[in-house]
A = this chain, B = another copy of it.
Amino acid sequence: MDEIMKKTKYQLVAEEIRQRIIKGTYQAKQFMPDQNALAKEFDVSRLTIKKALDTLAREGLIYKQSGLGTIVLGMIPIKAANDSPANAFDGMSKQHVGEKIESKIISFEVHFPDKDLQAKLDIAKDEPVYEIERLRILNGDPLILEHTFMPVKLVPGLNEDIMHQSIYDYLHHKLHLKFGGAYRKIRASLPDELDIKYLNAQKIDPILEFEEIVWLNNGENIEYSTSRNRYDKRSYTVLDVNNF
């Protein structure tokens, strides 16, 4: 485990109900007990039950319908192991535990941001930024080519040693920064020279590209980056649920 987290009541309730769904105590495509019954059983208020069910609904395990009841959805058949879940802030290391991750640094520069980058990072024109190109290698196979910009003032002491490991760990555990959120844009694109050189992409191999802005819990933008994935190695998943 990463950190010891004190669980709240609704998290404990959610965990128990999740187990019941997985174990089949609550069958897929069937109604669960209603919120009042669950509140009585767990000896908590109905609102606490509702929060627990909200959590499970966001995971796609159940669907709540006002006036009707709560239906168990169960497992989703197109999920796969190499999907990156939509809400993943952890670095690659957390998504590929027990696998071998290497990083090759292609370039590492500092300069002033141009107009476009000033807007994306929301910084002044005289705020220096790091520009990093890094190749992430999973079990010996080139997987992602990252192109990252970060304000120097937010990431003091960044060096090649850190970049060979996990930048995420450095930000999180050494600098004690916390991520607030991220906005991602996903598209397909043609391979460029760098992709061909480093990702071993063929001239016609499409690239799955992510463009993203990440901000901290205090609202400052910490990163603007594009990352280019080999099309045959990665896909991305999103769960949309009504009424949230």
Residues of A within 8 A of B (CB): 28-29, 58, 60, 63, 65, 68, 71-73, 76-80, 83, 86-89, 119-120, 122, 178-190, 203-209, 211-213, 215, 217-220, 224, 229, 231, 234-242, 244
Contact = CB atoms under 8 A, between A and B. Distances in A.
B240 A89 contact: yes
B242 A180 contact: yes
A235 B184 CA distance: 10
A181 B231 contact: no
A240 B182 contact: yes
A72 B180 CA distance: 12
Contacts of A78: 120, 183, 185, 211-213, 224
A159 to B, nearest CB: 27
The 4 residue pairs across chains A and B that have the minimum distance between CB atoms: A206-B206, A71-B219, A188-B188, A187-B235
Given A73-B219, A206-B207, A213-B78, A240 B186 contact: no
How many copies of this chain? Answer: 2
B237 A185 contact: yes
B68 A218 contact: yes
Given A73-B215, A189-B231, A180 B241 contact: yes
Contacts of A63: 180-181, 215, 217, 219
Nearest to A30: B219
